[in-house]
Amino acid sequence: MNASYSELRARARDSLRGNWGKAIGGFVLSLLLAAVVGMLNYLLPIVGNLIGILVSGSISLGMISFFLGIARKENPPVSEVFSGFSLIIKAFCLYFMIGLFTFLWTLLFIIPGIIAAFRYSQAYFLLRDNPDIGVMEAITESKRLMIGHKWRYFVLQLTFIGWAILASITCGIGYLWLAPYISVTQAHFYDDLIGRAPAIDNIN
């Protein structure tokens, strides 16, 4: 528990060793899914917007499942990005409730809204590991896991600022590597929270 930021990033690099191509492929596929939803929203505003709301949770869950699989060295196929659609109703409900609670906290002020987003940040991971879990149960468990760890999670995101600046200099191309790196690091953060030991061959 409570691995350092550098250790979490090192775990992510270890998980990505030999898997960068697959990780980038999964990220690009998720971008294409989002682009299709965006196109539908543009061509058919009302229907497209409804479809976007319905499938956004599934897309998020699929990405979480894919990158968590890479973090755990489970060798997930790129098609794992679509796995969230097998729980489309529950993923939608989780997406809706997280969005609702975060919005309500944001009404108080921006900072409470950000804290709320951190509080619920592990819910999709929990749903991925426990498909039978209830939506509110996933949210409640995420809140419990994040007690005393919200600041740690926030600082972890800040440690990627330098890389984000470099990725921006490359006209965004660098994000093809940075986004999977961040996602796998976040997956290791979750595993650290639940006390799951990483499958690591060698960290340097």
pLDDT, tens digit (0-9, with 9 covering 90-100), for 40-64: 877 888 888 888 889 999 999 999 9
Give percent of the chain above pLDDT 70: 97
Q: Does 199 map to a domain? A: no
Nearest to 63 by CA among 175, 198, 187, 171: 187
Supply the pTM of this predicted model.
Answer: 0.91
Phi, psi of 84, rounded to the nearest 5 degrees? -65, -20
pLDDT tens digits, 61-96: 999 999 999 999 999 999 999 999 999 999 999 999
**CB neighbours of residue 144 within 10 Å:** 11
Q: In this structure, what token pair is assigned to residue 152? A: 């740690």
User: Which domain does 46 fall in, by range?
Assistant: 5-193
Q: 154 lies in a domain?
A: yes
Is position 204 within any domain? no
182 in a structural domain: yes
- The answer to whether residue 198 is domain-embedded is no
Residue 178 lies in a domain: yes
200 located within any domain: no
- Total number of domains constituting the chain: 1
Q: Give pLDDT, residue 1.
A: 66
Mean residue pLDDT of the chain comes to: 92
CA 173 to CA 163: how far, in whole Å? 12
- Establish if 201 belongs to a structural domain: no
- The owner of tokens 């468990």 is 141
